[in-house]
Amino acid sequence: MSENIGIVEAFIEAWNKYDLDTVEAMVTPDIFYHNIPMEPCIGHAAFKGFVRSFHASSANWVIHAVAANGPLVLTERTDEFGFADGSKMSIRVMGIFEIQDGKISKWRDYFDPAEANPIPKS
Amino acid sequence: MSENIGIVEAFIEAWNKYDLDTVEAMVTPDIFYHNIPMEPCIGHAAFKGFVRSFHASSANWVIHAVAANGPLVLTERTDEFGFADGSKMSIRVMGIFEIQDGKISKWRDYFDPAEANPIPKS
């Protein structure tokens, strides 16, 4: 298995523990993070601000497919977030990561923003 | 280079020639084609119906990144379509292809459907 795939898997494990300190430590200072339907976050401070803005309390991201080509790791995932009130949000997404010196320097996620709404508790 | 990457590149070349006969010949009879924000097309007749419904006259799809893992080929692309009136539509997309016996049996594309609108000629 590509070492870079292992880095992305560890990054998603950190999300799934909702260990945001580790998430933030795994990206480069000049991280370029782009949720394609939104404006990109450039640099560590912007990344951290975005990550802390979710107000989620848990995550369960499932990798359906992953492949690497040199420094690039491409994924197909379902990203589920849980919130303190018991609601959940589930987004079908493909994302690409670029690894530089063992850290994530670029990350772009492609999805339909209409899915990025919490699921009512019913 | 993975042989399966070559199949996906040839498929996109067929799109870029707007050779829809070749596009249709490169997928399996039970093709499962899913533009994630829309309903999936299942089977060759549904696929063909969808492909012929675009009313585009040209395509210019650019592969920014590609990686394979066994039968799976993951891509990051910009898909541009041109129309007879001179307008264009450009969609940022990631897509995953599954190859079976040299043909595409599954294809899922992830994008923001808000981008799937023709660009005014200005």
pLDDT one-digit tens code per residue, B104-113: 999 999 999 9
| A79 catalytic residue (yes or no) | yes
* In-domain check, residue A18: yes
As for the ipTM of the complex, it is 0.94
Find the largest Cα–Cα distance for chain B: 45
CATH number at A31 reads: 3.10.450.50
- pLDDT of A68 strictly over 80: yes
Q: Is residue B89 part of a domain?
A: yes
**Domain contains B121:** no
Annotated catalytic residue B21: no
- Chain A contacts of B93, Cβ < 8 Å? 110
Residue A24's DSSP bridge partners are: none
Residues in A touching B114 (Cβ below 8 Å): 37, 113
Check whether A1 has a pLDDT greater than 60. no
Q: What was the pLDDT predicted at B54?
A: 81
B80's torsion region: left (phi>0), alpha (psi -120 to 50) or beta?
beta
Q: In this complex, which of B92, B96, B111 lies closest to A76 when CB atoms are compared? A: B96
For residue A41, what are the domain limits?
A: 3-115
Check A19, A30, A79, A85 and give the catalytic one: A79
What is the DSSP-derived secondary structure letter of residue B85?
A: T
Three-state DSSP at B115 gives: helix
Q: Domain count of chain A?
A: 1
- In this predicted structure, which of A40-44, B28-32, B51-55, B62-66 has the lowest mean pLDDT? B51-55
Report residue B95 as tokens: 């897509």
The answer, for A96 touching chain B at a CB cutoff of 8 Å, is yes
Chain B contact for A111 (CB, 8 A cutoff) = yes
Is A35 contained in some domain?
Answer: yes
Per-residue pLDDT tens digits for A76-112: 999 999 999 999 999 999 999 999 999 999 999 999 9
Confidence of residue A34 (pLDDT cuts 50, 70, 90): very high
- B78-85, Cβ contacts within 8 angstroms, sequence gap of 24 or more: B81/B54, B81/B56, B82/B56, B82/B57, B82/B58, B83/B55, B83/B56, B83/B57, B83/B118, B84/B55, B84/B57, B85/B121
For A65, the closest of B36, B72, B76 (CB atoms) is: B72
Tell me whether residue A11 is in a domain.
yes
Q: How far apart are CA A121 and CA A51, in angstroms?
A: 24
